[in-house]
Chain A
Amino acid sequence: MSSRSRIGALFCVGVAVIGTMTYSQSLVDARALAVGAYAPAVRDTREFPANPAGLVQMRDWDFSVTTYTGTAPESFGFVFHALSFGKRLYEEGALAVRYAPGTEITFVVPTTLFIGEGNIPASIDREIRYREPFALGFGHRILPSLSAGFGVRYRREEVADIRYTLVIRDTIAYPSASPVTYASSAWLADLGFQWKAADRLSVSALARNLLSLRNGDTGDPLDAYLLSTSPAAELGVGYVPLTALSLFASASTRGNGALSAEWLPGMGISVRGSLFMDRNDASFMQAFSAGLGWTYEFLDIDAGYLRFFDRSSHTGTAPAASFDPAGISNLDLNPYSRDRLALSLKVIFGRVRQSLARIEEVKLFGGIYPSSYEMLAYQPIGKVRVRNISAKPIHAKASFFVDRVMDMPTESQPVYILPDQDSEIPLTAVFNEQVKRVQTLTVREGNVFVNATPAEEYDDKQQTRVLIYGKNAWNGDVNTLRYFVTPDDPAILRYSRDVLLQYRDSLSGISGMLERLTKARVLVNTFAGRLLYVGDPKQSADFVQYPSETLTTLGGDCDDMTVCFASLLSSIGVSTAFVDVLPPERPADGHIFLLFDSGVEPRYGSHVSDNPKRYVVRRNQAGVETLWLPIETTLITKGFDEAWTRGAQRYFDDVEVGLGLVKGWVRIVDVN
């Protein structure tokens, strides 16, 4: 053959048909394949790039793997598609990565150039390859009903071609071919949201290719085959009309979308189906899919089948003249994809049990007053609203724990909750002694756990803020003032014993029934002269000194002195009660003073006073009527008699004349 003929043959180019070697043509998971409108349905690592916001629903470690095969005889054969790992990093956030060697499509432009004689191909096909081998996603729950996700995909585009040059050798030009690969890579970022708009309604929104960063070769021939990185938006809706049925719909600004359903008939089985639509496809009704799934505790096995309506256009090939990379927005589902069967396996590690309950809301009734911390073991400090998210009735229990000031979580009584119903469970707290060492207002993390039977683990957990007041803070409720009374405080015991010992001789001749009264008089008078009335420091909450502090500082306001004398009297076996006065027309005149049990029976009242207005006949804890003496503790500094006179006067005016006790603006709270 002459050199002329060789050169002529060199430029003989014919019409070609692009053939594809499609390693991936379906969504990267069997469940995702069967639930085509997948963005609102993402809940783990399975096809998480469809909406990374769904990752927050993962329980702990999550591992999934997928394989697929074409259903046509010439494409049959299972291919490893993708492997994903995910981990819940903290309560509100999760991370996942995916390696997907199967997310790849390769187009081959067959040989159209013949060198030499006999039309023998010389392996000079052009190969166009698209891959998305890596994806990363991170989801974070912003609100209980709203989560956001950020995803990054790595895409690589390559064109492998042959470069021809004429080499002059011995005055004869010879063609020389050398393989050349042109490559470009891009990082594409997506932002997604999942919003639980109502109990049965969820909405998803995604911004695709929100950011793109491309590098690599440019120019001919690569530019002609680069895929679009223009942004697009996707919207999805999930609706649960029945407990076992979920419906999904999604649409994209690229003109495609899907309608899907997932039914859970029981026994861990899922039945799925979808319709795919794409206005860029040869047929608007693009494809349908069907799938089955089976779930057993930590294991999910899924199968999905995708079939295109217009199978003549989804052959995996296309005429070279009509091949348009702009039509490929998804390497896994595009105009060149073919019917597929996918199989997936998902395994979860760590907290593998299916949650039965979910915390809807945590509410604390107020801060913690260390003075009355013992009471909080029996009176709720808050409540948690728990929802049964399982298909069966559950017994749910709530636990509450604050680190350092509690030794272990408290647990509530179990509450029966029907499916899809919620219930409020009261929270109690057993604080340890550490809480009484809190000097100033402090904020601590409080953990609320919910556990539903028959499981052993927590179904849900939520943190809330716990306000712990300083140990001297008082909420103003006279019922809780008694917790400041510490008759068994060694300092109080020592003081009262020392005083009584000092007056031992004069006390020895006193009648048994008048003994308490006399001792109280001695105790009060001894301490009275050393005291000074001092108002509270400026605080957000009322400030009450513990009796030992009053003994040390020798000063305080009415509640400090009332508490101190209640402690002193209690320490020698005298019962006391607080009289809380809050006149409705004069709330600023609110006041507290003390009643103490003289132990004298009413029939001997004249030994206490000739005027019955100076005492109150009350039953003591044993049910015996005795005479109680009102003491105006702020006047203690003027001695027992003056404090008694003023206390009795105030009691008579407020309780007997003003009927304060009957009308409810005077309360008597027994201390011990």
Chain B
Amino acid sequence: MKTIVLMLILGVACGVAPAAESIIIQRADGEVSVRHGVAEVWNKVAPGDVLRPNDTMRTGKGGNVVLLVQWGTTATSKKMSLPPHVIVDMSDIRDLTQEELMLKLTMEKVRGASYQWKNDGMVIPDAAVVHGANNATAAPLSENDIQTGRLQLNGVRVLYENGFFASCVLRAMEVFRLYPALSSSFEHRLMLAEAMEKANLRGEALAEYGAVSRLEGLTSGQQVQVQGRIQTLRK
């Protein structure tokens, strides 16, 4: 695994996908707000505002935004529209290279590898059970507001439709982590699988299609659609 990660890092070093250098709001209609960096408050925006890569944009009812995204010194630019009811991180508006995407996914899988230091020649068995957990009764927590998750998934679809498949894959997986209930949505899971396919993640796409086919309550048409994609990928 270390070798794979190293090779991927080398690959990344050879080709780096820059984040957008500037994002300018060309048009903003309806309910549109932005959250800067790690702040928790949403601020209103106006046309001409320049966003940073660590900003997050949200559109509400009737909200429509047109962004002008520019990359690098060559001023490569692209216009991008955000429909109502979406949340999009500006850092997702970029093309990750295949290596970057694979490395990010690999890191997701090997998370915890840094615990391996303990095993470099020194095997200290972990306790099977850690005693002493606090079993005192505590108030149950409510899960994250699923509405916010839906807005984020809508944003993921915007990424998909604009061809940012790598960002789409990573963001969708993140949203499913934060909003597990949304992971049973056929449309969104199918979008994730297709994004993986388009991002040349054939193995991951196959696995995701397989997972989609096992979702409960699929119609026969949906099953046929998924199986068709699986057969195509297997050829």
Q: Are A652 and B38 in contact (CB under 8 A)?
A: yes
- Chain A, residues 600-619, CB within 8 Å of chain B (1/0): the string is 00111111011111100111
Check A657/B9 contact, CB under 8 A, given A602-B177, A603-B143, A649-B37. Answer: no
Main secondary structure on B side of the interface with A: loop
Q: Which of A374, A511, A649 has a CB less than 8 Å from the CB of B141?
A: A511
Q: Which residues of B contact A375 (CB under 8 A)?
A: 120, 122
A365: shortest Cβ distance to chain B, in Å? 15
Asked if residues A670 and B115 are in contact (CB atoms below 8 Å), the reply is yes
The stretch among B25-33, B104-112, B196-204, B215-223 that forms the contact with chain A is B104-112
A621-B112, A657-B54 given as contacts; is B35 within 8 A of A479 (CB)?
Answer: no
C-alpha gap A379/B144 in the complex (Å): 45
| B51 in the interface (beta carbon within 8 A) | no
- A603-B180, A657-B53, A662-B103 known; A669 vs B114 contact (CB < 8 Å): yes
CB distance from A613 to the nearest CB of B (A): 5
Interface: A514 (CB within 8 A): yes
Q: Are A379 and B121 in contact (CB under 8 A)?
A: yes
Contact (A662, B114) CB under 8 Å given A511-B138, A603-B144: no
Assess whether A603 is in contact with B178, with CB atoms less than 8 Å apart: yes
B4 on interface, CB distance cutoff 8 Å: no
Taking a contact as CB atoms under 8 Å apart, the answer to whether A613 and B38 are in contact is yes
CB contact between A512 and one of B38, B53, B134, B143 (< 8 Å): that residue:
B134
Q: Tell me the minimal C-beta distance from A300 to chain B in angstroms.
A: 45
Q: Which residues of B contact A510 (CB under 8 A)?
A: 138
Least CB separation from B19: chain A residue: A657
Which chain B residues border A659 with CB–CB below 8 Å? 12, 16-17, 100
Q: Which residues of A contact B143 (CB under 8 A)?
A: 603-604
Please state if A664 and B37 are interface contacts (CB–CB under 8 Å).
no
Interface string of B127-163 (1 = CB under 8 A from A): 0000000101011111111001000000000000000
Give B156 Cβ to nearest chain A Cβ, in Å: 13
- With A602-B178, A606-B144, A621-B115 known as contacts, the answer to whether A662 contacts B100 (CB < 8 A) is yes
Complex-state Cα separation, A668 to B148, whole angstroms: 29
For the complex, what is the distance from the CA of A479 to the CA of B112, rounded to whole Å? 14
B71 part of interface (Cβ distance < 8 Å): no
Q: How far is the CB of A577 from chain B (nearest CB, A)?
A: 7
> How many angstroms between the C-alpha atoms of A605 and B143 in the bound complex?
8
Contact A668 B114 (CB under 8 A): yes
In the complex, per-residue mask of A605-639: 1 if CB is within 8 Å of any chain B CB, else 0: 11101111110011111010100000000000000
Q: Is the CB of A611 within 8 A of B35?
A: yes
| A603–B141 CA distance with the chains assembled, in angstroms | 10
Among residues of A, the one whose C-beta sits closest to the C-beta of B9 is A664
In the complex, chain B residues whose CB is within 8 Å of the CB of A610: 40, 148
Which residues on the B side are within 8 Å of A623 (C-beta)?
A: 112
B144 touches A662 (CB 8 A): no
Contacts of A164 in B (CB 8 A): none
B37 surroundings in chain A (CB, below 8 A): 613, 649, 652
Are A511 and B174 within 8 A (Cβ)? no
Q: Are A656 and B91 in contact (CB under 8 A)?
A: yes
- Chain B hits for A217, CB < 8 A: none
Q: Interface on chain A toward B: helix, strand, loop, or mixed SS? A: helix
Q: How many residues of A contact B (CB 8 A)?
A: 50
How many angstroms from the CA of A609 to the CA of B19 in the assembled complex?
Answer: 25
B38:A645 contact, CB within 8 angstroms: yes
Asked if A663 and B121 sit within 8 Å, CB to CB, the answer is no
> Given contacts A379-B121, A603-B179, A618-B111, are A514 and B9 in contact (CB under 8 A)?
no
Residue-wise, chain A 95-108 has the 8 Å CB interface mask toward B (1 for contact) of: 00000000000000
* A362 interface contact, C-beta 8 A: no
Q: How far is the CB of A356 from chain B (nearest CB, A)?
A: 28
Contact A662:B141 (CB < 8 A) given known A613-B56, A621-B112? no
Would you call B38 and A670 a contact (CB within 8 A)? no
Q: Are B177 and A617 in contact (CB under 8 A)?
A: yes
**Complex: A662 Cα to B13 Cα, angstroms:** 9
In the complex, per-residue mask of B8-22: 1 if CB is within 8 Å of any chain A CB, else 0: 010011001101000
Assembly CA distance A509 to B139 (angstroms) = 8
Are B122 and A670 in touch, CB under 8 angstroms? no
A377 part of interface (Cβ distance < 8 Å): yes
For residue B5, give the distance in angstroms from its CB to the closest CB of chain A: 9
A606 / chain B contacts, CB cutoff of 8 Å:
144-145, 148
* B39 sits at the interface (CB 8 A): yes
Q: Which residue of A lies closest to B92 (CB)?
A: A656
B51-99 contacts to A (CB < 8 Å): 53-54, 56, 89, 91
Q: How far is the CB of B219 from chain A (nearest CB, A)?
A: 28
Near B by CB (< 8 A), chain A positions 583-605 give 602-605
From known contacts A657-B91, A662-B12, infer whether A378 and B122 are also in contact, taking CB-CB under 8 Å.
yes
A261 within 8 A of B: no
CB neighbours (8 Å) of B12 from chain A are: 659, 662-664
Bound complex: CA A427 to CA B209 (Å)? 52
B166 CB to closest chain A CB, in angstroms?
11
The answer to whether A611 touches B138 (Cβ under 8 A) is no
A661 within 8 A of B: yes
Interface residues of A in 15-40 (CB under 8 A from B): none
Closest chain B CB from A573 CB (angstroms): 8
What chain B residues lie within 8 Å of A604 (beta carbons)?
A: 141-144
- For residue B112, which residues in chain A have a CB less than 8 angstroms away from its CB? 619-621, 623, 670
CB nearest to B87 among chain A residues: A612
- A420 at interface, CB cutoff 8 A: no
- Chain A contacts of B114 at CB under 8 A? 577, 668-670
Task: Verify A479–B117 contact, CB threshold 8 A.
Answer: yes
Find out whether the CB atom of A611 lies under 8 angstroms from the CB atom of B38: yes
Interface 1/0 per residue, A373-396 and B, CB below 8 Å: 011011100000000000000000
Q: Separation in Å of the B137 CB from the closest CB of chain A?
A: 8
Once the chains are docked, how many angstroms separate the CA of A380 from the CA of B103? 30
Closest-CB distance, A495 to chain B (whole angstroms) = 20
Give A583 Cβ to nearest chain B Cβ, in Å: 13
**CB closest residue in chain B, given A651:** B38
Would you call A167 an interface residue if the criterion is a C-beta within 8 Å of the partner chain's C-beta atoms? Answer: no
Q: Are A663 and B16 in contact, with the CB atoms below 8 A?
A: yes
Distance, CA A1 to CA B12, complexed state (A): 126
Q: Considering the chains assembled together, what is the distance between the CA atoms of A670 and B111 in angstroms?
A: 10
Q: Inside 8 A of A612's CB, which chain B residues have their CB?
A: 174, 178
Q: Are B56 and A662 in contact (CB under 8 A)?
A: no
Measured CB to CB, the closest approach of chain A to B27, in angstroms, equals 25
Q: What mask results when residues 38 to 56 of chain B are scored 1 for a CB within 8 Å of chain A, else 0?
A: 1110000000000001101
Assembly CA distance A228 to B177 (angstroms):
99
- Chain B residues closer than 8 Å to A617, beta-carbon distance: 174, 177-178
Which chain B residue lies CB-closest to A612? B178
Can you list the 7 inter-chain pairs with the closest CB atoms, starting with the nearest? A378-B121, A512-B138, A648-B38, A670-B114, A511-B138, A606-B144, A619-B111
Residue pairs across A and B with Cβ atoms less than 8 A apart, 21 shown, are A374-B122, A377-B121, A479-B117, A511-B140, A515-B134, A577-B114, A602-B144, A603-B177, A603-B179, A607-B142, A610-B148, A619-B112, A645-B38, A653-B54, A656-B91, A659-B100, A661-B107, A663-B16, A664-B13, A669-B114, A670-B112
Interface residues, chain A, with chain B CB atoms under 8 Å away: 374-375, 377-379, 479, 482, 509-515, 577, 602-607, 609-614, 617-621, 623, 625, 645, 648-649, 652-653, 656-659, 661-664, 668-670
Q: In the complex, given contacts A513-B138, A614-B38, A664-B12, what are 7 additional A-B residue pairs having Cβ atoms less than 8 angstroms apart?
A: A482-B117, A510-B138, A511-B140, A511-B141, A603-B143, A609-B40, A663-B12
